[in-house]
């Protein structure tokens, strides 16, 4: 999700004084997955997959999604 979209969604759903718990990740949190460097394309694909995911997000789920994308990329070469 783009930051802009997150801000718009939060503004629509919550009042500025509401208390919420937010968990987010950025590309810099994941330098390598399975000893492979994370590039912008892989990170963007993982973000889009996360938006469509029914999983509750945590660091392990993000890494699993990136491994799945890397596997799919290798299989499609």
pLDDT the model gives residue 34:
84
- Residues 25-55 have pLDDT tens digits of 888 888 888 888 888 999 999 888 887 776 6
Does position 67 have pLDDT exceeding 70, yes or no?
Answer: yes
- Please, are residues 53 and 65 in contact by the beta-carbon 8 Å criterion? yes
pLDDT the model gives residue 38:
87
| Spans of all domains in the chain | 3-75
pTM for the model stands at: 0.60
Question: Nearest Cα to 26, choosing from 12, 43, 42, 49?
Answer: 43
Q: In this predicted model, which residue has the larger pLDDT, 14 or 57?
A: 14
pLDDT the model gives residue 18:
95
């Amino acid at each position: 999700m783009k930051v802009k979209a997150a801000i718009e969604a939060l503004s629509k759903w919550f009042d500025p004084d509401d208390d919420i718990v937010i968990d987010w990740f950025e590309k810099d949190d994941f330098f390598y997955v399975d000893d492979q460097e994370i590039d912008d394309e892989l990170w963007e694909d993982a973000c889009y997959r996360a938006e469509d995911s029914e999983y509750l997000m945590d660091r392990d789920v993000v890494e699993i999604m990136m491994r799945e994308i890397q596997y799919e990329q290798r299989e499609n070469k």
